[in-house]
Amino acid sequence: MDSDPASPLVGVVGPCGAGKSTLVAGLEKHGYRCRHIAQEHSFAKQMWKIIAKPDILIFLECSFENSTRRRKLNWLPADHEEQLRRLAHAHEHADLIINTNTADETGVLAQALAYLKSRV
């Protein structure tokens, strides 16, 4: 489904392995304009806001254990904590926070769609 260029831009942010790419793909299939924001790799705390300029920001939470399992990362807990520190500003300003530790990709998409339908 093609998205309407006048529709709000949905930004999706979260640590590695949280499911950002999967959620963006699912939302785009439903016609939403989306931006995968790789904020977790930036030291600029407001990068999500300055570069992506989303109208709606969705934050995906993910534990160290799930991040490393999903992405097969060879990390220490400190690496994950650093990503969360870099994401703190986006987390504070998110319109919707979804815990991906307790929901599969279908559940995460359903939560996002329900929220977006109530907003758009």
Q: Where are the domains of the chain?
A: 9-119
| Distance from C-alpha of 39 to C-alpha of 43, rounded to nearest angstrom | 8
pLDDT at 52: 82
pLDDT of residue 44: 67
Alpha-carbon distance values, 15 to 1, 9, 83, 97, 119 (Å): 28, 20, 6, 13, 25
Question: Residues of the chain whose pLDDT is less than 70?
Answer: 1-5, 39-45, 120
pLDDT, residue 43, reads 61
Give pLDDT, residue 94.
97
Residue pair 16/67 in contact (Cβ under 8 Å)? The answer is yes
User: Class for domain 9-119, per CATH?
Assistant: alpha beta
The tokens for 98 are 């979804």
In the prediction, which pLDDT does 51 show?
78
pLDDT at 3: 57
Q: Provide the pLDDT for residue 24.
A: 97
CA–CA distances in Å: residue 4 to residues 17, 46, 85, 96: 29, 26, 34, 22
In the prediction, which pLDDT does 75 show? 80
Secondary structure (3-state) at 36: strand
